[in-house]
Amino acid sequence: MKMKKLKLLKKLPSLALVRLVLFILILLPFQGISQVVLKVDEVPKFTPNGESIFVTGTFNNWQVADSSFMLAFDSTSSTWEISLPKEIRSFEYNFSRGSNLSMEANALGEVEDKRVYIAPLEASDTVLVHKIEKWSDLASDVTIRLKSIPLNTPSEAKIFLAADFNDWNIADSTYLVTNKNGVFEVVIPAQIDSFHYKFTRGSWSSVEGGYSGGFRPNRFYSKKSDKPETIAVIISSWEDLSENVLSLYSFIGLVFSTVGLLILSMLFSIDRGGQTYVQTLFILILLYTFAFIIKVMSDDAELFSVIPHVYLLPDLLWFSYGPLYLFFVYQMIKREIDQEVKPKWYWWSGGIIHFCLLLPLLIKPTEELKSSIINQEYSDQIYLISFVSLLFNVLIWLKTYHLIQKASRYGAEALPIFRIKLLKRLQWIFLAILVVWSFSFLIGIFDFYSENMLLPYVDVSIKMTWLMLGLPSVFITYYALKYPSLLKRKIGILKTPKEASPTSFSNDILKFKYTLEHLIKDEKIYLNPTLTMKEVATMIGTNTHTLSHLINESYKKNFNDYINSHRIKEFIHRVSNAEEESNFSELSVEVGFNSKSTFNRAFKKVTGFTPRAYFKQTVEN
């Protein structure tokens, strides 16, 4: 009996084994079977509709399109979820859309590090909620952020992006600009590599406008990398909220051109036989005025929609302004330069070629041309023409500089000082125009290839160029008022009579002398710096021989000394009656002297003193 009990005890488990079993039984409630649910409540905006989302991980050997692990879509809550088999405990995992190319990614488009789940010690069902930032194949989307919008934008207004990829839908809710804590932005899907676009407030009448409130071409974007991009843009104005008033830019430009035209038209109408450079100047300012008015009109969105051709017309000035200016300079100094320097036909070749290039566009149907301009289809050609015209005008400037310098060196005795000053100042203005033009061209090129990031600065620089083109008319008007002889023609009243015989002099001497003294005393013809004996002879109705004899016999002087003596008297009279200290150089020009040296010689010949010495002695006496 004792032997049987002993054998039975040997069959019982050891104390250590009993303890292990008891420990397992104690822990068993905490290691019970639990359910893990994976839930996705937010996916990237442009996740293709109808595509499935899978979970892949260590539990299925990282198969990216395992149908057993496809998430189910709940349309009521717009979420995706899957309940994993209960035997799956701790694991690593990620989401995909069915391929290794469409894995979930972070905000930079990089494939996410593996997610990790470690089962807790206490058994319980677990719901893991996820947000998928991006998909690796759709990560290179574009965020367009509005850096600023017009101050007069209605607070309740909705802003949409209309583009070629959505058929220019002006109120597409998919591309509604969202306001996130004061930051306005809209996201463009990665599949779109390049596009034209504009912002609207829901209608074409409320589309964005240019910097000055008028029409602006479409914006353009081209993708630069396969990474997400954010670009900042500025909405300068809304077409329907732009004030229809004359801008400061338009006002100043019209004043420049109108003042010049009024003065020149008055002189031109009174003096139709005027000097040739007056007529050239009139044409130059008239052309500028016409082009400037068309330029202002082309900024008007309503006019552009009806007649888009006006957008191209002002550019014709590019190749016309320089040659007309060169022709004007040549005509002013042609008597002081070599005669072989004459206008050349190729001065106008640039303008002719430019017009021929624009002609196919000018004859285009309205809608077709409008679409081409809005989409900037001809921007490359326009920038090329602008570059060539800029070089062309630089050559014109160098040519005029050479002519003016040559006239200054070799024509100092015959060319009036005020005319030299005017030409030199005009030359500086022309140089400033070229500098601003070059600047606007360079930033325009940069702006075109940087998705219109610098458009406001381009607009300002272009307007500055156009305003500066009007400055010459202001300077010329000033000089025309200060030196009337600048724009007056060579004086002539009567036809030159037939040569009178010397014997007839005694019969007509009194009449000729009386007429001459009237012209000197009342008309002050000596103020004309280009006055010649032939002109004076024509005025009094005789010939140069008779006039010379008259002056010699009556005044014991030759013609030049006679005219200069009256100029000196006029000079002394003006200096003596001036309220402020006079500028002798400028005043000598006003009384008819061509140059400082001629004036000084004449003054000393008449008074015996230099001008300074004469007036110093007068004050002392």
The pLDDT score that the predictor gives to residue 507 is: 55
**Token pair recorded at residue 212:** 């000055």
The pLDDT score that the predictor gives to residue 303 is: 76
* % of the chain beyond a pLDDT of 70: 79
Q: What is the DSSP letter of 111?
A: B
Residues in the chain: 621
496 pLDDT above the threshold of 50:
no
Closest by alpha carbon to 140, among 53, 70, 56, 230?
Answer: 230
pLDDT tier at 613 (50, 70, 90 boundaries)?
confident
Q: What is the 3-state secondary structure (H, E, C) of 445-460?
A: HHHHCCCCCCHHHHHH
The pLDDT score that the predictor gives to residue 187 is: 84
> What is the second-level CATH architecture of the domain 140-241?
Sandwich (2.60)
Average pLDDT over residues 364-390: 80
pLDDT tier at 55 (50, 70, 90 boundaries)?
very high
454 pLDDT above the threshold of 70:
no
The pLDDT score that the predictor gives to residue 394 is: 92
Q: What distance in Å separates the CA atoms of residue 296 and residue 230, rounded to the nearest whole number?
A: 34
Residue 322: CB atoms within 10 A of its CB come to 25
Average pLDDT over residues 362-390: 80
Summarize pLDDT for 36-54 with one digit per residue, the tens: 889 998 888 778 888 899 9
Q: What distance in Å separates the CA atoms of residue 59 and residue 87, rounded to the nearest whole number?
A: 10
Q: Calculate ∠ Cα 606-609-611, nearest 5°.
A: 95
Point out which residues pair with 37 in neighbouring strands.
83, 127
133 pLDDT above the threshold of 70:
yes
pLDDT tier at 309 (50, 70, 90 boundaries)?
confident
Average pLDDT over residues 100-118: 80
Phi, psi of 187 (to 5 degrees): -110, 135
Closest by alpha carbon to 462, among 490, 448, 443, 489?
Answer: 443
494 pLDDT above the threshold of 60:
no
The pLDDT score that the predictor gives to residue 160 is: 92
- Topology of domain 502-620, per CATH? Arc Repressor Mutant, subunit A (1.10.10)
Output the CA torsion 107→108→111→113 (10° steps).
-70
Most confidently predicted of 219-233, 426-440, 446-460: 426-440
Q: What distance in Å separates the CA atoms of residue 501 and residue 495, rounded to the nearest whole number?
A: 17
Return all residues near 289 (Cβ < 8 A) that are at least 6 apart: 254, 257, 258, 260, 261
Cβ(390)–Cβ(340) under 8 Å? no
121 pLDDT above the threshold of 90:
no
Summarize pLDDT for 255-288 with one digit per residue, the tens: 777 776 676 666 555 554 445 677 777 788 888 8
The pLDDT score that the predictor gives to residue 506 is: 55
Say what the pTM is. 0.55
pLDDT tier at 431 (50, 70, 90 boundaries)?
very high
Summarize pLDDT for 144-198 with one digit per residue, the tens: 888 888 888 888 888 999 998 888 898 888 888 888 777 888 888 877 778 889 9
pLDDT tier at 616 (50, 70, 90 boundaries)?
confident
365 pLDDT above the threshold of 80:
yes
CATH top-level class for 248-486? Answer: mainly alpha
| Burial environment of residue 620 by CB neighbours within 10 A (0 to 12, 13 to 18, 19 or more) | exposed
Domain boundaries, the chain: 30-137, 140-241, 248-486, 502-620
Mean pLDDT across the chain: 77
Summarize pLDDT for 345-357 with one digit per residue, the tens: 777 788 888 888 8
Return all residues near 218 (Cβ < 8 A) that are at least 6 apart: 196, 197, 198, 374, 375, 376
Higher-confidence residue: 203 or 255? 203
The pLDDT score that the predictor gives to residue 95 is: 92
Reduce the DSSP state of residue 129 to 3 states and report it. Answer: strand
The pLDDT score that the predictor gives to residue 391 is: 92
Q: What distance in Å separates the CA atoms of residue 148 and residue 61, rounded to the nearest whole number?
A: 51
Phi, psi of 123 (to 5 degrees): -70, 125
Average pLDDT over residues 457-481: 78
Q: What distance in Å separates the CA atoms of residue 404 and residue 328, rounded to the nearest whole number?
A: 12
Residue 179: CB atoms within 10 A of its CB come to 12
Residue type, 609: F
Q: What distance in Å separates the CA atoms of residue 318 and residue 38, rounded to the nearest whole number?
A: 68
Radius of gyration, alpha carbons of the chain: 44
Alpha helix ranges (H) inside 522-558: 533-540, 544-555
The pLDDT score that the predictor gives to residue 180 is: 76
**30-137: CATH superfamily:** Immunoglobulins (2.60.40.10)
The pLDDT score that the predictor gives to residue 557 is: 86
15 pLDDT above the threshold of 60:
no
598 pLDDT above the threshold of 70:
yes
Summarize pLDDT for 498-556 with one digit per residue, the tens: 444 444 445 567 777 878 888 888 888 888 888 888 888 888 878 887 888 888 888 88
93 pLDDT above the threshold of 90:
yes
Q: CATH topology of 30-137 equal to that of 140-241?
A: yes
Cα within 13 Å of Cα(576), Cβ side: 11
Closest by alpha carbon to 288, among 466, 476, 427, 487?
Answer: 466
The sheet with strand 54-57 has its strands ordered as 54-57, 91-96, 115-117
Q: What distance in Å separates the CA atoms of residue 261 and residue 279, rounded to the nearest whole number?
A: 11
